[in-house]
Amino acid sequence: MPGLELVENFITKIKTVDTVDDLRRAFASEIAQLGFGKHICISLVDMNNPPPNAIQIFDYPPAWIERYKREGYFRDDVVLKTAFSNIGPYRWSSLDRSDKRNRRIFAEAEQYGIREGMTVPVTLPGHYPCCVNMAGAHTDVDPATFHILHLLAEYYVLKIVELTGRQTQLFDPPSLTPRERECLVWMAKGKSDYEIGRILSISARTVNGYMENIRKKFNVSTRTQAVALAVSGGLVIP
């Protein structure tokens, strides 16, 4: 899958990055290749009074960020509110923005080139919940590209945490069984439970059981977060 090469290149590239600004530019360059020209990565906190350890990385037009904060849009923005209840990525087009406040937010955002996009919520133990919002003019991407963007966002957040010293060690690598490792490798390649089951000659239900065990061992909310940690820690190679 060509998209996975993009993920592998990003992982290689950010190994030598030592500033958040350089990391932001590297991430922006990768997602631009997939049609997303703008992004932010923020902790889900009061943006006008963020706590010291909050992530606040903006690659949106500064004038829009200033207005967004001044108007307190972050308190009502359905894009951010959904991140509290969703553990998986979602397209903005799937959200209900029919109320007056959100119609206004989206209308004004469009004036700054932020029309549609997708969000990847990320929750790591001991950290404020955060999300990566990626915006583009047309974001009707196929499932494979959606998966690639999800992975890129997960690696992005992990590297931010590493660079900013918000924790001294990203995770203690858990012990995986041979079968769990096999499932994880194929998951990293973008395969579904059904596809992994066919490859390993086991049922999709059994694959799901292995993946749930893996998720619990990594102490994360989603499978994709487990994959990101495993790849960044060298446990598997996609």
Report pLDDT digits (tens) over 190-199: 889 999 999 9
For residues 216 and 112, membership in a common domain is answered with no
Q: 6-59, pLDDT tens digit by residue? A: 888 999 999 999 999 999 999 999 999 999 999 999 998 889 988 888 899 999
pLDDT along the chain (238 residues), means of 10: 77 93 97 95 89 90 97 93 86 93 96 94 82 86 90 95 67 80 86 94 95 85 76 64
Residues 118 and 189 in one domain: no
How is residue 82 written in tokens?
């959904």
CA distances from 225 to 112, 170, 202 (A): 31, 12, 24
Q: Is 169 part of any domain?
A: no
pLDDT, residue 169, reads 45
The partner residues of 59 in beta bridges, in order of sequence, read 39
Q: Does residue 112 fall inside a structural domain?
A: yes
Query: Do 145 and 34 touch, CB atoms closer than 8 A?
Result: yes
Residues 211-214: contacts with CB within 8 Å, 24+ apart? Answer: 211/183, 211/184, 211/187, 213/180, 214/176, 214/180, 214/183, 214/184
142 and 184 in one domain? Answer: no
Model pLDDT, residue 170: 44
Instruction: Evaluate whether 166 touches 127 at the Cβ level (below 8 Å).
Output: yes
Six token digits for residue 93: 């087009």
CATH number for the domain spanning 198: value is: 1.10.10.10
Q: Is residue 114 part of a domain?
A: yes
| Residue range(s) defining the domain that contains residue 219 | 178-232
Check whether residue 214 and residue 136 sit in a common domain: no
